[in-house]
Amino acid sequence: MAGQSDAQASTFSAAELEFLAEDELIEIVPNLRMDPLNLICGDFGPFRPQIATQVPIWLAVALKKRGKCAIRPPDWMSVEKLTQVLEAERDAEKFQPLPFHYVEISRLLFDHARDDIPDIYMVRSLIEDIKDVRFHKIGTGLEIISKERTYALRLKNLSAMEANIVRPFVTRALETFYKLSSPDMIQDSDSVQNRQHQTVNRGPRRQLKDR
Amino acid sequence: MESGAGERSSQYSEMDDYESLISTTDAELLKRAWQNEKAAPQILRFEAALVQRSREQIQLMEETVEEYTRNGSDPLTVSLYQMDLDRTLFLLRSYLRTRLQKIEKYMFHIQKTTELWNRLSRPEQKFMGRCIEDMEQHLDQSVLSKLPSSYKSHLKQSSSSEEDDMVPEPQLDTYVICRSNRFLGAFQLDDSGEETVNIEADDLYALPYKSIKPLVETGQIDLV
């Protein structure tokens, strides 16, 4: 009937997420002299040798590729900070706060600014570990959907890439449970009578689970 | 059917202008509109004023780049301006294309729902009109004209159907992932008011689109 199955359940492609992440600001130290840039996405510069300035990542990468600047990795990308995050991530059930685009940003910097990141191997493996721990948590965390009646899910501190990866599964699962818990909804009618049915129907379902 | 899209967008444009003045750049707003449009199951209101302004900025930037190239400015600077231009062009194109895809998918539904029809820009309305003509003709020539008379409608399975049951509609009870940049407090999920959720600033939530539809349409919540 109405509503075909959604072919592109994962709304954004990895490339599109990277595109979004490239707009995040980062500090660079230019080695050239250049007038301020008045771009559509904002005004940046002026650029003076050895004087740090903030630019979007795409701009930083473009300059870096031409050897015109050094990129200063953000604070959260230091070995010290990442070690803390990893420990906390392992200890606590909650997700640690990290930048929304941490996966994409770290990837961009690993690809284009290797020589600007101190202890790059350490940093890289820490981020990999953090990613692994978080994905494991996401996996176990999702069990909650089947355990109790869930109408809404709060995904506190989940990053863009993580949310995008779980999106097809989570949205489908929630949708299915939502429909199962109110069979009348499928028939597409929302009279008052039906709504009463729904509440009645929810009762026995929960008991079934408890057994 | 000729719509009030004109009035509607001008009324909103003032709001848009005001909002962009006090808070964000058009690039940021366009990015948001693009994300919302991509993530929403239904077609959203055409951001007429924003698209207009973006077009103007793009044109201005194109002229700037051309001028810089002509008078032999630093090629690095020119290429950076060009990159910025390309990024904005991509956003605008992808935004318009996402809408066209939705229109193609749900044209018969949009056609009979005035509220949705009014959300389209004039060129989009024209596009949909032509789409519908082609689709009707195609269905008719390939199948419908060869069927018995009670099965000839492209909207109904048979003339005994009470509703238009062959019209694809967006599923509004689908779940979306959203984020608000401010605290919205306890928010009611269903009509009965049994289920509420506390929407905090900057947190991600997976919620049924249907229940946050008004918040998306008024820009209080963003889809991600």
Place of tokens 């009611």: B188
Q: Which residues of chain A have a CB within 8 Å of the CB of B102?
A: none
3-state secondary structure of B185: strand
A190's tokens: 């929302």
- Whether residue A160 lies inside any domain: the answer is yes
Give the Cβ contact number of residue A208 at 10 Å. Answer: 8
Q: How far apart are CA A67 and CA B25, in angstroms?
A: 30
Query: Among A72, A105, A123, where does a domain finish?
Result: A72
Q: Which residues pair with B185 in a beta bridge?
A: B199
pLDDT in tens, A117-130: 999 999 999 999 99
The residue range of the domain holding A16 is: 11-72
**What residue in B sits closest to A167 (Cα-Cα)?**
B177
Q: Are residues A66 and A78 in the same domain?
A: no
Radius of gyration over alpha carbons of chain B, in Å?
22
**Phi, psi torsion values for B197, nearest 5 degrees:** -135, 140
ipTM metric: 0.83
Kindly list the distances between the CA atom of residue A197 and the CA atoms of A140, A200, B176, in Å, as whole numbers in the listed order: 33, 5, 26
CB A162 within 8 A of CB A138: yes
Residues of B whose CB is below 8 A from A206: none
Residue ranges for chain A with pLDDT beneath 70: 1-10, 148-149, 182-211
Asked whether residue A5 is assigned to any structural domain, the reply reads no
The alpha-carbon gap from B207 to the nearest alpha carbon of chain A, in Å, equals 5
Inter-chain touch A19–B87, beta carbons under 8 Å:
yes
Residue A43 located in a structural domain: yes
Do A196 and A181 share a structural domain?
A: yes
- CATH classification of the domain holding A31: 3.40.5.50
Predicted pLDDT of residue A53 = 97
Looking at A121, A141, A161, which one is the last position of a domain?
Answer: A141
SS (H, E, C) chain A: CCCCCCCCCCCCCHHHHHHHHCCCEEEEEECCCECCEEECCEEECCECCCCCEEEEHHHHHHHHHCCCEEEECCHHHCHHHHHHHHHHHHHCCCCCCCCCCHHHHHHHHHHHCHHHCCCHHHHHHHHHHHHHHHHHHHHHHCHHHHHCCCCCEEECCCCHHHHHHHHHHHHHHHHHHHHHHCHHHHHCCCCHHHHHHHHHHHHHHHHHHHC
List of chain A residues whose C-beta atoms are within 8 Å of the C-beta of residue B171:
2-3, 6
Q: Do A175 and B88 touch (CB under 8 A)?
A: no
Residues of chain B with C-beta less than 8 angstroms from the C-beta of A59: 80, 83
Q: In terms of domains, do A137 and A191 share one? A: no
| Distance of alpha carbon A107 from alpha carbon B188, whole angstroms | 39
pLDDT confidence of residue B157: 87
Of B175, B191, B203, which to mutate for an interface test with A (greatest number of A Cβ within 10 Å)?
B175
CB-based contact (8 Å) between A170 and chain B?
Answer: yes
Measured CA to CA in angstroms, residue B11 lies from A167, B4, B5, B56, B152 at distances of: 35, 11, 10, 20, 42
Shortest Cα distance, chain A CAs vs residue B9, angstroms: 23
A153 touching B (Cβ < 8 Å): yes
Task: Tell me which residues of chain A, numbers 42 to 61, contact chain B at a CB-CB cutoff of 8 Å.
Answer: 42, 58-59
Give the number of C-alpha atoms closer than 13 A to the C-alpha of residue B99, restricted to the C-beta side: 25
Contact B207 A62 (CB under 8 A): no
Final residue before a domain boundary, out of A94, A126, A141: A141
The amino acid sitting at B63 is E
Asked if B77 lies within 8 A of A11 by C-beta distance, the reply is: no
Query: Do residues A127 and A107 both lie within one domain?
Result: yes
Q: Which residues of B touch A152 (CB under 8 A)?
A: 189, 195, 197, 205-208
Q: Do A163 and B83 touch (CB under 8 A)?
A: no
Q: How many domains does chain A have?
A: 3
If asked whether residues A43 and A80 sit together in one domain, one would say no
Rounded to 10 deg, the angle between the A160-181 and A192-210 helix axes is 110
Instruction: Tell me which chain A residues have a C-beta less than 8 angstroms from the C-beta of B157.
Output: none
In chain A, residues with a C-beta closer than 8 Å to the C-beta of B191 are 190, 195
Q: What angle do CA A111, A115, A120 make, to 5 degrees?
A: 75
Provide the pLDDT for residue B107: 96
For residue B198, give the H/E element and its range.
strand B196-199
Q: Which residue of B has its CA nearest to A151?
A: B207
C-alpha to C-alpha distance for A101 and A18, rounded to whole angstroms: 8
Which domains does chain B possess?
5-169 (1.20.58.1030), 171-224 (3.40.5.60)
Averaged in consecutive runs of 10 residues, what is the pLDDT profile of chain B (224 residues)? 40 49 80 95 96 96 95 92 97 97 96 95 97 95 92 88 89 91 80 75 90 90 92
* Distance from C-alpha of A150 to C-alpha of A19, rounded to nearest angstrom: 33
Q: Do B224 and A153 touch (CB under 8 A)?
A: no
> Which residues 8-27 of chain A have a CB within 8 Å of chain B?
11-12, 19-20, 22-23
Q: Which residues from B are below 8 Å from A37, CB to CB?
A: 77, 80-81, 84
Best probe of the A interface among B30, B42, B80, by most A CBs < 10 A, is B80
For residue A26, list its beta bridge partners.
Answer: A55
CATH number of the domain at A117, please.
1.20.58.1020
Q: B79-83: long-range contacts (C-beta < 8 A, 24 or more apart)?
A: B79/A62, B80/A37, B80/A39, B80/A59, B80/A62, B80/A63, B81/A37, B81/A39, B83/A58, B83/A59, B83/A62
Angle subtended by helix axes A14-21 and A102-112, to nearest 10: 80
The reply to whether A4 falls in a domain is: no
pLDDT of amino acid A200: 36
Query: pLDDT for B115-158, tens place per residue?
Result: 999 999 999 999 999 999 999 999 999 999 999 988 988 898 88
How many CB pairs lie under 8 A apart between chains A and B? 127
